[in-house]
Amino acid sequence: MEYYNYIKALHLIFVITWFAGLFYIPRLFIYHIEATEKPEPERSFLTNQLKLMTKRLWYIITWPSAVLASVFAFWLLFLNPYWLRMDWMLVKLGFVFLLYLYHLKCHWIFKELQKDIVKWTSNQMRLWNEGSTLILFAVVFLVIVRDAVNWIYGVIGIFLLAAMLMLGIRIYKRLRSKNPEL
């Protein structure tokens, strides 16, 4: 137990870097999708550069961070198995499961874009980009507030956050249609 705080710190560091990768990878996907709509030679130059940037982010930062965050999380649960009897921890693990599903879907999109298969619009990807934000909010509030949170208010809060994010995306889309430089 003398190393507990070190393990916890490492878990938190890799959670942060994992989320950094998950926040940025859909942004690169958006740029990649928009680059496919450009004329040549700009399209080839941009898509090749974005493929390289995405590959480096995905394999050097995001995947290793996901694995290491999980390793340190399992280690913490091994040291404190009683957490698995707490409702807030079980709900948190449910959100972590959703985060892994989100991560795996991002991996699938990554693989498609690496093969020049574009199935998403940039606006759909902007909405997709908010998935990790919603999970982050849910997990942080759950861990900090724990049992004191009223689940009904928590669920309402997540839906309100999602609605605000979608409204922000719509406003940005309108602004961008008026000024393509945004």
165-174 tens-digit pLDDT: 888 877 887 8
Does the bond joining 26 to the residue before it have cis omega, within 30 degrees of 0? no
Residue with tokens 């997990």: 139
Give residue 144's pLDDT: 81
Domain residue ranges of the chain, discontinuous segments joined by +: 4-178
pLDDT for residue 29: 97
Of residues 142 and 24, more confidently modeled: 24
Q: pLDDT tens for residues 24-41? A: 999 999 999 999 999 999
Is 92 within any annotated ligand binding site?
Answer: yes
What pTM value is reported for the model? 0.83
Pull the structure tokens for residue 53. 């940037």
The pLDDT-based confidence of 151 (bands split at 50, 70, 90) is low
The residue behind tokens 């199935």 is 119
Contact partners, residue 126, CB within 8 Å, separation at least 6? 26, 30, 169, 172, 173
| Helical ranges in the chain per DSSP H | 4-35, 42-56, 63-79, 87-114, 122-128, 131-145, 151-178
Q: Is 173 annotated as a binding residue?
A: no
pLDDT greater than 70 at residue 152: no
Q: What percent of the chain has pLDDT over 90?
A: 61
Residue 116 region by backbone torsions, left for phi larger than 0, else alpha for psi between -120 and 50, else beta: left
pLDDT tens profile 72-95: 999 999 999 999 998 888 888 999
| Whole-angstrom distance, CA of residue 11 vs CA of residue 7 | 6
Residues written for the chain: 182
